[in-house]
Structures are given as C-alpha cells and as structure tokens.
A and B are shown apart, each in its own frame.
Chain A
Amino acid sequence: MAFVNPVPKLYRSVIEDVIEGVRDLFAEEGIEEQVLKDLKQLWETKVLQSKATEDFFRNSVHSPVFTLQLPNSLHQTLQSSTASLVIPAGRPLPSFTTAELGTSSSSASFTLSGYPIHVPAGVTLQTASGHLYKVNVPIMVTQTSGRASILHPIQQVFQQLGQPPIIQTSVPQLNPCSLHATTEKSQRIETVLQQPTILHSGTVDRKHLENATSDILAPPANEREIMSEALLSQPESSQYISLPGVVFPPQVSQTDSQVEPVLSVSGSMTQNLNGRPFSTSQQGAQHRHMSDTQLHVLKNRMFGCDSIKQQRNTEEPSNLPVSEKDSNSQMDLSIQVTDDINEIIQIDGTGDASSNDEIGSTRDVDENEFLGIIDAGDLKVLEEEADSISNEDSTANSSDNEDPQIDIVEEDPLNSGDDVSEQDVPDLFDTDNVIVCQYDKIHRSKNKWKFYLKDGVMCFGGRDYVFAKAIGDAEW
C-alpha cells in the first residue's frame, strides 16, 4: 500500500480556495487577472521549494530484494554505532538493530517494501544483481521501480530523502535549491552526488534487471565525506548525476517560467538561471541597465529565495549566501543610481529644497530624513545636483538620527547571579520545529501534563505535517 501524504493535496486545495476567494476582491480593486496568477504561481513555487512538500512526487514502488552483508571486522563498529535500521512504515516489519545484525553471522537479507532503510557506515551492500557496495557513511537505502524511465526512480530517491530526519535527525534535508545548482555546474554535481557512485551503480543494475532493483542514496550531509571516500567512479556517472537535474525540472519549470520573462533583457543570465536561481546573484550587479521593475522583481525573488534558504537547516555552499548578499547590496546601489538618473535632474537655485524632494525618489528622501542613511549613490546624485542645502539637511538629519539610533545595552552586573533562566527566551525563537494548533484541553497533575490538541500544522526541520487531533504527555 502506498504511503499517501495528505499535506500536498491539502495545501493545494487551500491555495485554490484562497485564490478563488480573492478573485472577486482583485476584480473589485481593478487589479488584473495576471497579478492573481502571479500570486498563485509565486505562492505555489515557494511552497514547492520548501521541504514541506517533498513528497509531491511520491510514487508507488515495488519491493526488491537485496542482501546486506556485514563484514565481521565491522561487528564492533556496528554495535557501537548509534544508528539503527528502522523501517518506518505501517507495516509490521521487524527493525534490525546493528547489534542484531552484527551477531547474526554478519549477514542479513531483507526486502525493501517501499520504505527507506537506513544503513550505518561501514556496511557492504550487495544488490540482487551481485554488485557490491561498500558504505563508508551512513546512507539511506531506498528502492525504485524497475521502470526504464529515469525520472521516477530519482524522484523516489529524492522523496525518500524527505524521510531521513525521521530516522536520523542529524541529517539535514536536501535543499532543492542546491540541487538546482547541480544541474548546471559539474563541480557541484560531483560534490552533491558522490553518494552517487553508489547511485550510479544502482542504475547500472537497472539496465540489467528488468525488475525492480534498489538504489542507494546517501544523505547529502555526508557529501563532502563521500567525496573523499568514493570507491566507485565510473565515466558514465555524469549521465546519472545529471538525473537530479532531470527530476527538478518539474519543480523548477515554474520558477523558470517566472524568471525567464523577467530576465529576457539580459540573455546571458537566462542560461544560468535555468535551475539556478541563486547563480543570478553573482551576475546581478553587472546588469545595471535593466529596468527598475525588473530589477525590483529580481531582487525580491532573490530575497525571497534567500529568506527561504535561511529558514532551512540545510547544507549549502557558504559562498552562495555571502555572494548573494554582496551583490544584493550592489544591486541596491545600482537601483538607486538608475532611479536617480532616470528621473529628470533639475538644477535650480540652491535655495530650492522642495523641488529636490520631487526629484529624488521618495525612497531616497525618506531614507535621508528618517533613517540617516546616505548611500554613495545618493550622495553622488545630490552632489551632481549641486544642492548644498539638501546635503546639509541630510547630514543634519543623519547626525540627529544617529543619537536615538545608538542603542545602549547595559547588562545589570548586580544580581546577575540570581539568573537561573538559562536564557530560555532566545531559545524559544530559535527552534525549527513548530506546531501551530488549537487546544481542546490542557491538563496538569503535579508535574504531569496532558495535552489534547486539534487542527494543527507541524513543521519539523522544514517538513510539514498536519493533524486533526493530537494527544500528548509530558513531564515538566
């Protein structure tokens, strides 16, 4: 029986309901239908990009058989390993602990019945076809159907990726955005998909076997380790490595369709943009000739992606966020410069302050007056206009604004020893795992609490779950 996740369907239905509900509202406001469509697309894209709905493409699977061979020498290692083989499912399958496997003549064979199996490090796997894989890092073994289509197995493979946190919460989620990157750059392909060498071999099996075989997928958390420990490197691996790229076009297509029209102005960007929304950040600063709205939309998209990325607990190349922010700030400057340049520069008498208010964009004036922030671009423009008063005003404002802006944080050294709170407050906001729900009843007896909750949305490490009722116990 296939495992059906109700969340994607629920989300889709909510999105549809909301869009339909506001259609009239939009019409009343006189806003075009296209804006509504854009809203829907943006919304769906963001939801898809979040890990909440990784299971969108889950398919039913066959049940392959493969043999797990555990070398005797790794017996102790396995026993000491904290990972255990858990098959998450509704099926009454036994769970194998590493200890069990270690003691039972170092070999065990079992059937994957549609659920991922977590394999600890140091294990040698042998598929039914006889291929041996040595696993040096904890991996997730999933299975694929024996279909010739390349897409489905990989989809399942990446669907199963959504499961790892269940079993091993230390494994971060695969970031679809980083996978987007892999479609284009071969370097990234190598890093992300060294799990891959095993994956590749798995796909080789599929060539030989018509029936289902098993693909082995290593969590991306270990990609760097795997890179140095890859045992099987095949020349054909590049074909398969590009498979993840193949998968994501269904997801990425929406992004592409949104982004491409925006970036039609600059041809060089679109190539990189396909499947690599983040790469644009590196080139963003170069395109100063784009129109304001396009820049604005692009910037917001990047901000949007940026914020999504920040919400996730993923492994991403460290250079990406930094470069994004740098180029974003560059883009800020470029936008303001273009704003000012595009507007009519009026060089009136020096005593005319009000006309400058009209000239400069509202944003610039507001910033100067209220935020005391003077961008290099603004200063340049203001100087060009040769309006000394506005400069004086802005500098005066900036100096005025600095004082209130100086936040003086003084911790009270007295009585600090009485503080037992362990700084709970920042921790409260720091969690990735949130449940938003309603309570029917909250009960407490001494320090035993019982929770009767309903209609909740749970988000664990980015993945979403829902419940109609939840009952819980906790001890304080």
Chain B
Amino acid sequence: MAYQLYRNTTLGNSLQESLDELIQITPQLALQVLLQFDKAINSALAQRVRNRVNFRGSLNTYRFCDNVWTFVLNDVEFREVTELIKVDKVKIVACDGKNTGSNTTE
C-alpha cells in the first residue's frame, strides 16, 4: 500500500475537503478515493518528477518515531537550478523511502 503521507498537501487537502463537501459520497467511498489518490500521487512523484533540489539551513529539532523523520529547520535556502527559495522555518516530514512499502501511517 502506498504512503498516506501526501494527503496533507495542497492537492490532498483539497481532495479531502471536496470529498467532505459532497454528501452523496459515503465515508467508505471517500476512503477508497483517498487510497486511489495515495497510489496516484506516489506513482506520479516517482515517475513524472525529475528535478533535484539542494538545501542548507540549521536544524532546530529532529524526531524519529515509527520510522518517520520529522525535522524543523530554520533559515533554509532551497536551491534549484531555476530558482532560489528562502524560508525562515520549514517542517520536513519524511517516511522511509527504501521500500515504498507497507507503512500506512502518515
């Protein structure tokens, strides 16, 4: 099963909101839709995205629990070939990418 990690993104949240709004969609059906979304976003990211990003900053906090890393970084610069992005604070949530496998928790 694909990670449910990406449900808390713009795309995922808007999907969840839309599912909530449509009352004809039962909760079970909504869950199925979200599972389908998980598959689609995981495969799209794996296959259709090709760019690289570098970043540098200072680490404020780190947490490793249930094989999920959560970092909070400060004063980070994200560098892509095309642009540079600076943020004061960023939270990174990362699931184990070695085997895109059985972990279903976000």
Contact = CB atoms under 8 A, between A and B. Distances in A.
Contacts of B71: 451, 474
Interface in A18-35: 18, 21-22, 25-26, 29, 31-32, 35
A371 B89 CA distance: 38
Contacts of A143: none
Given A43-B18, A453-B92, A88 B84 contact: yes
B9 A433 contact: no
A47 B48 contact: no
A169 B98 CA distance: 34
Interface residues of B, number: 75
A455 B42 contact: yes
Q: Binding site of A, secondary structure by majority: helix, strand, loop or mixed? A: mixed
Given A424-B61, A464-B10, A297 B21 contact: yes
A18 B33 contact: yes
B94 A438 contact: yes
B52 A17 contact: no
Among B10, B48, B55, B96: residue with most chain A CB under 10 A = B10
A454 interface: yes
B88 to A, nearest CB: 7
B44 interface: yes
A95 to B, nearest CB: 11
Given A449-B59, A459-B9, A433 B90 contact: yes
A35 B22 contact: yes
Contacts, number: 235
A439 B11 contact: no
A45 to B, nearest CB: 8
Interface string A434-466: 111111101000000101011111111110111
Interface string B42-85: 10111011111111111111101000011111001010111111
A457 B61 contact: no
B49 A472 contact: no
Q: Indicate the size class of the contact surface on chain A.
A: 35 or more
A405 to B, nearest CB: 25
B81 A90 contact: yes
Contacts of B82: 3, 88-90
Contacts of A380: none
A431 B91 contact: yes
Nearest to A17: B40
Given A90-B82, A434-B93, A449-B62, A457 B9 contact: yes
B102 interface: no
A100 B12 CA distance: 45
Interface in A74-91: 86, 88-90
A472 B90 CA distance: 13
A439 B94 contact: yes
A475 B52 CA distance: 21
Contacts of A442: 64, 69, 94
B105 interface: no
Given A22-B36, A89-B82, A10 B49 contact: yes
A50 B92 contact: no
Interface string B1-33: 001011011110111011111111110010011
Nearest to B11: A11
Contacts of B18: 39, 42-43, 46
A424 B91 CA distance: 12
Given A166-B86, A472-B56, A43 B94 contact: no
A472 B24 CA distance: 45
A10 B22 contact: no
A110 interface: no
A474 B57 contact: yes
Contacts of A32: 24
A166 B85 CA distance: 5
10 contacts: A6-B49, A17-B44, A90-B82, A166-B85, A433-B89, A438-B97, A439-B69, A451-B92, A472-B55, A474-B71
9 cross-chain pairs, A with B, having the tightest CB-CB distances, nearest first:
A438-B97, A46-B14, A42-B18, A439-B94, A474-B59, A472-B55, A476-B59, A455-B45, A433-B90
Interface of B: 3, 5-6, 8-11, 13-15, 17-26, 29, 32-33, 36-37, 39-42, 44-46, 48-62, 64, 69-73, 76, 78, 80-98, 100
